[in-house]
């Protein structure tokens, strides 16, 4: 991997910090927000594995900061579906053309924004064991697109998880998904030493942001940050669609 310009490296660092902080507050979209700049700096094929390893630090930080609020029953049922689905998604990602991945990711982000406003997203209270199905869908999509937090967020919220309980529970479940993703990417030689070092650096910056976000979540308007996340997702989706068309 060639060295990236200093200015671009600083942009990557700032993006990672902002994404980690916003993710620590809203409980989602850290990977999705970081992906476009990482794809620009390194390429989409490299960006998704970098995000997956970086998110190990981010999710660990979130889970620790919110450890007293985590619902471990939800984590258990979610991981039953999400971890094996992430393995399958990782294999699909490893064998898919990079330009198709960029376009698919861009479209996926735009669809997620629309999904958040559909009536079906405002569903009744979730039964506990239904998180197996949520995990199957989110684990697979996360392995292909680097993250799928907004898709699963509605189901966690509909179960009754809010604020720190929402952030901590999502983090604890997603942590194991990212362990599986990183393992699969590594087995397909998608993570070399340079990428692993880069991912570790990005992850440590994200972890600082995540820990900070966990301590300010109660002071921030949920609606304000949801709007910010959606704006970032739309801009990111358009950017990736343009990148994939080149």
Q: Indicate the range of 25-39, 134-148, 158-172, 179-193 predicted with least confidence.
A: 25-39
Which pLDDT score, from 0 to 100, does residue 10 have?
A: 85
Whether the pLDDT of residue 132 is over 90: the answer is yes
Per-residue model confidence (pLDDT) at position 134: 92
Q: Greater confidence, 92 or 32?
A: 92
The structure tokens listed for 136 are 């199957």
207-240 burial, b for 16+ CB within 10 Å, e for fewer?
A: bbbbbbbbeebeeeeeeebbebbbebbeebbebb
Of 35, 30, 52, 43, nearest to 184 by C-alpha is: 52
Confidence of residue 217 (pLDDT cuts 50, 70, 90): low
Residue 42 has pLDDT above 80, yes or no: yes
Alpha-carbon gap, residue 158 to 105, rounded angstroms: 26
- Give yes or no for residue 19 having a pLDDT over 90: no
Query: 96: phi > 0 → left, psi -120 to 50 → alpha, else beta; which?
Result: beta
**What mean pLDDT value characterizes the chain?**
81
H helix runs in the chain, sequence order: 6-26, 30-42, 44-65, 72-94, 98-115, 131-145, 149-159, 163-187, 193-216, 222-245
User: 91 is written with which tokens?
Assistant: 């294999």
**Per-residue pLDDT at 1 exceeds 60:** no
Give the separation between CA 131 and CA 79, rounded to whole angstroms: 8
Q: Model's pTM, two decimal places?
A: 0.75
Spatial separation of the C-alpha atoms in residues 61 and 155, rounded to whole Å:
23
Rounded Cα gap, residues 163 and 215, in angstroms: 11
Rg (CA), the chain: 16
Domain boundaries, the chain: 6-245
The confidence score (pLDDT) of residue 75 equals 95
């Amino acid at each position: 991997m060639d060295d990236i310009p200093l200015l671009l490296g600083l942009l990557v660092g700032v993006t990672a910090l902002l994404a980690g902080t916003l993710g620590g507050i809203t409980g989602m979209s850290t990977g999705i927000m970081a992906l476009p700049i990482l794809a620009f700096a390194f390429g989409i094929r490299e960006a998704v594995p970098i995000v997956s390893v970086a998110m190990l630090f981010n999710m660990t930080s979130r889970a620790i900061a919110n450890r007293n609020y985590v619902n471990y029953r939800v984590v258990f049922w979610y991981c039953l579906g999400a971890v094996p689905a992430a393995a399958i998604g990782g294999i699909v990602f490893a064998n898919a053309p990079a330009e198709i991945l960029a376009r698919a990711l861009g479209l996926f982000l735009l669809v997620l924004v629309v999904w958040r406003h559909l009536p079906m997203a405002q569903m009744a209270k979730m039964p506990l064991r239904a998180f197996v199905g949520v995990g199957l869908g989110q684990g697979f999509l996360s392995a292909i697109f680097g993250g799928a937090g907004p898709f699963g967020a509605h189901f966690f919220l509909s179960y009754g998880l809010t604020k720190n309980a929402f952030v901590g529970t999502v983090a604890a479940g997603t942590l194991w998904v990212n362990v599986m993703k990183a393992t699969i990417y590594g087995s397909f030689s998608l993570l070399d030493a340079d990428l692993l070092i880069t991912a570790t650096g990005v992850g440590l910056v994200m972890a600082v942001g995540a820990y900070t976000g966990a301590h300010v979540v109660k002071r921030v308007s949920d609606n304000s940050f949801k709007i910010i996340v959606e704006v970032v997702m739309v801009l990111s989706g358009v950017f990736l669609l343009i990148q994939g068309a080149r």
